[in-house]
Structure 1
Amino acid sequence: MMNLMFGIIFLIPIIMYNNYYMFMIFVVMMGFFLLLSYSFNFMSLLSYSFGLDLISWGFVILTFWIIWLMILSMYSNKTSNKSKEFIFMNFFLLLFLSFSFMSDSMFMFYFFFEASLVPTLFLIFGWGYQPERLTAGFYLIFYTLFASLPLLLGIFYLLNEKGSSFFWLISLEYNVYLFLSFILAFLVKMPMVMFHLWLPKAHVEAPISGSMILAGVLLKLGGYGLIRVSMFLYDYFNLYSVYILSLSLLGGVFCGMICCTQLDMKVLVAYSSVCHMAMSIMGIFSLSSWGLWGSYVLMLAHGLCSSGLFCLVNIIYERSGSRNLLMNKGFMIFMPSLCLFWFILCSNNMGSPLSLNLFGELMLIICLVGWSNSCILFLMFMSFMACVYSMYLFSFVNHGSVSGFNLFINNCLMREYMLIFNHLLPLNIFSLKFIIFMSLI
């Protein structure tokens, strides 16, 4: 544990030399070191304030993987890749997100949970595209901070009553207000339907690196927090789960319909994230082992798949100057090799075989049908709408008549092929080791 923490901190000298290659190499090496540490006993990775179990282990590896892909995605941007500021923002995101997933204390988790907003906000403000990025940043800050204030008050109440805020030591007489204060911040962060309005706006105005970290890791903080607080709020989760699940079922169907009407590619992918996170929320609130591990697998799969789709959208945007589907058609003619990546990622987004999405969604569907037979119709609609908007996105971009504005588009660079391939590799290879998760049910 300590070697991982010190390894992150000792990346600072590399940043001072502004060496992008070395920074990416060391981040990937630490990610592989952590991946190989699965063979160790997780009890050896526990300390007083920080520790790793299987859930936090997967999310920390996802953080390392997305961070180095963020740097790779922005490497061609002449305004950012020559500045230390951009790589410093990535370093602080790596530091805060890793520490938030490794925290064993509610207070430490809250501190790093909120600290991760600051570099994200600077990414949107500093490297965003339109002047509306200021409005999008304020949406992000006010939605998350407004919902996080009750969480802070609840943690102070815990410290006052019990003198400790460690996940494993909390045992307290609760009321509905304390329950709401603990879950509201995480439901906004995921986000749940009705609290999701900040997400499409932040994605549209953020640069590609901001969209990748938002979809890949920051949304997972909400799911991780819900999993942790469910350990000591079990009775209230059981009592109020019917309301959360009903709202998420309806919201997933409606957001799927909204996706099918979008013309902006980034907004479409952002709303598809809301649909997938609705499935994860339902799995956590079902309070079953299938629901918990299904949500965990789906969150890991969504982090890779959604980040890869944002990269594909950005590749199109850098060449055509527009994210409108009506302006970007017939790209199979210009970039036939990229069409394969579009097909695989859109297929994975709808839950195709050999992707982690399929296994996560199957586990969640089995869990929710077992929870109530009334979910069957809504789950059918959600699965059907996922296929519809994924096929809609793929067919519009790659087929159709070519726009007259896009006649001089060049082919993809090797860096961009590497970027998409490194999203697809873990997304479709780790499903071969799915027995790791099945053995825990």
Structure 2
Amino acid sequence: MAGNNAVVFTKPGEVEVQDISFPELVLRDGPGVNPLNVGRKCNHGVILKVITTNICGSDQHMVRGRTTAPSGLVLGHEITGEVIEVGNDVEFIKKGDLVSVPFNIACGRCTSCKQQNTHICENVNPERPGSAYGYVDMGGWVGGQSEYVMVPYADFQLLKFPDKDQAMEKILDLTMLSDIFPTGYHGAVSAGVRLGATVYVAGAGPVGLAAAHSAQLLGASVVIVGDLNNDRLAQARSFGCETVNLREHPNLAEQIEQILKVPEVDCAIDCVGFEAHGHGDSKEEAPAIVLNSIMEVTKAGGRLGIPGLYVTGDPGAADNDAKHGTLKVRLGLGWAKAHTFVTGQTPVMKYHRDLMMAILSGKAQIAKAVNATIISLEEAPKGYQQFDSGVSKKFVIDPHNMVKNR
């Protein structure tokens, strides 16, 4: 039996590459596995040889100790791979297929899945609707920052690439289909981005950059990206965005007015989430600052897309309310301006085929937008450290050294 090295969360601030068990078509007990999921048979699943798997900002929340993730949790929910084994209930996916795996696990059978709400599948997580690989409180499905991984409900979930050679040529773009490209796109769609719209994107991390690129694809006239990190803002400018450094210029409305001649935008996207920090000279965490600022600068009747992560439990929060996900949000302002808020995980399957076609046709250049950077599995701990320091890179792990031009 082949070995299976994987990236494992050990304690706050640390991950290690460890040899874990080779995947089977059953969910075994292990760190973070919900007891009600132990022993769950997955004859509807496949085993993948992982081609690429990405480090996500959501992973960083766990690694920083900002969730209740247990030691030993295998990380990774952004997975692209080659099918090497199929369960006896799998009909359409075949050995040798190269596929993208949606980060949210969905059965295809429940009411939510049938309504395209695959982000809140009712059958994969005994705790609550919605699940993901390698993530705290998501049912315990083993993560994919590894050499091999099991994926359930293969016929329903997997996006097969039409041509393997073409896919490998564009793998740095296609690897983004498992999460951040659909997530950024969902943020833009949820915000109502349309032809000619002016858009503010809070956060210039990979999801923010994906949202900004998505807004451009949807026809926005001006996309303004705000952040506290100059390197990440430079990356946003590299593909045509306007930028605002909120460390140097804390008044967001004034900065937007300098760009647009009016102090508001048509719509806004929060790609920061609960670990937001204060603007200007403040070094303090301010978990509601992004939500409040985007309400301030979005016109009356506008929409707010909120793909940024907010959690129900944050043991590292600065105050007791925030430890339980309770934030000081100016809901009255949003009510007075008749804003529409769209939150929650992204239903990846609603978008991933269309985004795949945009990549294969050359219309979408998502790898360039997020500065995709290949590393080996052994380099993953260093990648986590660099990403946490604020470098403007989207780290793509190549476990089997299969990606050309590394």
User: Shared topology, TM-score over 0.5?
Assistant: no
- Where relative contact order (Cα < 8 A, 6+ residues apart) is larger, the structure is 2
TM-score by length of 2: 0.29
Instruction: Give TM-score, length-normalised by structure 1.
Output: 0.27
Q: Higher strand share goes to which structure?
A: 2
Normalized per residue, which structure has more helix?
1
